[in-house]
Amino acid sequence: DFVAYSEEEQHAPPHPLPSSTHGGSASRCCWKQQGMPSRPIRRLNEDMYVHDMGRIWRNSLLAMGHLGVEEAVFFPLGMGAFLRKLYLNDDRYSEPRVLLKLRRRVAGELMNAIAETCIGSSTPRASPKGPCHVHLCLVCIGAEAIDNHNCFLEAAATKLRECPRLMDVLKLRQNVDSLHLAATDLAPATKGGCGAPKVGILNG
């Protein structure tokens, strides 16, 4: 929610609401009151948003590990509609370069979470608490999807320099449907003829 992750800009005059139309329907700011000709300027607190996205990544991995999941299936959570329409609430993100930087930061938080929860530290007693593998499904169709894809690849390459075991856990799946991957490829491989499949899909 934009209101929860934004702050009102002090000493700035209100400005008219930007509008966007897609498929014939108009988009409005999520926090603008009906009938207001203008609105106070609010700015995304990017550090707070990225921090909480990191918490979501970590908590998801920890929960799966607690449930005994061995194969986790992830996708670019939180990098769709919220970021796509962010410029309507904060016009700084109408600049593609600024929005791309935010996507890259969110992707970096996933790599940090994988390193911390699925690989662990070098301390002998510190064992990984997350799944054995994280399958990241990335679509390469459309500008937004390609931006997300590239941001995750850049984040993985950066993290790999300090965490050489990253790619032992992270499995990049390009143009693969997450449900099909889990049900058709991963579940039969982990079931082993008995018990329940140890596969988990992040649902968002």
For 44-71, what is the mean pLDDT? 95
According to DSSP, residue 34 is labeled T
Strand (E) or helix (H) holding 58: helix 46-66
**What does the pLDDT look like over 11-34, one tens digit per residue?**
665 555 555 544 445 555 555 554
Short-list 104, 126, 103, CA closest to 115:
126
For 110-119, what is the mean pLDDT? 95
What tokens does 180 get?
């099909």
36-40, 59-63, 93-97, 175-179: the lowest-pLDDT one: 36-40
Q: Choose between 5 and 189: higher pLDDT.
A: 5
Mean pLDDT of the chain: 85
Q: Choose between 22 and 85: higher pLDDT.
A: 85
Residue 160's pLDDT band (boundaries 50, 70, 90)? very high
- Give SS3 for 7: strand
Short-list 56, 71, 81, 49, CA closest to 148:
81
Query: What confidence score (pLDDT) does residue 134 get?
Result: 96
Short-list 49, 149, 67, 64, CA closest to 105:
49
Instruction: Check pLDDT > 80 for residue 119.
Output: yes
